[in-house]
Amino acid sequence: MKIIAIGRNYIEHAKELNNPVPKEPMFFTKPDTAILRNNAAFYYPDFSKNIHYEAEIVLRISKVGKNIEEKFANRYYDQLGIGIDFTARDLQDICKAKGKPWEIAKAFDGSAPLGTFLSKSKFDKMDDINFSLDINDQRVQTGNTKDMIFSFDELIAYVSKFFTLKIGDFIFTGTPAGVGAINVGDRLKASIEGELLLDFEIK
């Protein structure tokens, strides 16, 4: 099982971090040890002073595929969920400045909390799904998949050129604007179309 996470897939988020809007998808990976399930608490690590939340729609791959054509990509995932792509922004800024890989900033233990997944069949259109993140009952992020630069199908086609997708893999599809820091004691609640699917604490 692997996690593939797409960077800069919402224009407003690319702008808020002063990143250029990409011409093709960019992605990185996280190992299985990044996953937190069942609303488990996230323990703030001591190697960072600036961990950011990024709420993202997550696809669950349901079929093995390589070089998947965009027109068939929708057959390769069966469930959607919401997850958090925790990012050590201070370490990421250093990695970016030095041209180093992002793994220590993105792929650490617990950096990918996942909520309950929903069947894809619950949604009429993949390009009109609302999602949100609340911290301590304040709304901090709202997104709609219509604002993605690359659609789910385009992402699957692109990623599968490089990586064989296997059953149970996850694709984090990018975060909308509004990212920010978490603090010990915060409670994060993430929803798709108003349905609460992920609810956990920072310890």
Interface ranges with Zn ion (CB under 5 A): 54, 85, 175
Q: Could you tell me the smallest distance in angstroms from the CB atom of residue 85 to Zn ion?
A: 3
State in angstroms the smallest separation of the CB of 146 from Zn ion. 18
> What single-letter amino acid sits at 107?
A
Between 52 and 189, CB nearer to Zn ion: 52
Beta bridge partner(s), residue 139: 134
Closer to Zn ion at the Cβ: 48 or 175?
175
Residue 96 to residue 122: CA distance in whole angstroms: 39
- For residues 60 and 121, which CB has a smaller minimum distance to Zn ion in the complex? 60
* Closest residue to Zn ion in the complex (CB): 85
By CB neighbour count within 10 A (0-12 exposed, 13-18 middle, 19+ buried), where does 203 fall?
A: exposed
Nearer to Zn ion, 66 or 190 (CB): 190
Q: Minimum distance between the CB of residue 69 and Zn ion, rounded to whole angstroms?
A: 26
Minimum Å gap between C-beta 172 and Zn ion is 6
Please, which residue, 167 or 181, has the CB nearer to Zn ion?
181
Separation between Cα atoms, residue 118 and residue 106, nearest integer Å: 25
Between 175 and 191, name the residue whose CB sits nearer to Zn ion. 175
Smallest distance, Å, CB 183 to Zn ion?
A: 19
Q: Which residue is associated with the tokens 């996850």? A: 170
CB of 154 to Zn ion, least distance (A): 17
Question: Tokens for 89?
Answer: 């922004």
DSSP letter (8 states) at residue 87: E
Which DSSP state fits 149?
Answer: S
Burial (Cβ within 10 Å: 0-12, 13-18, ≥19) of residue 47: exposed
Name the phi and psi angles at 38, rounded to 5.
55, 40
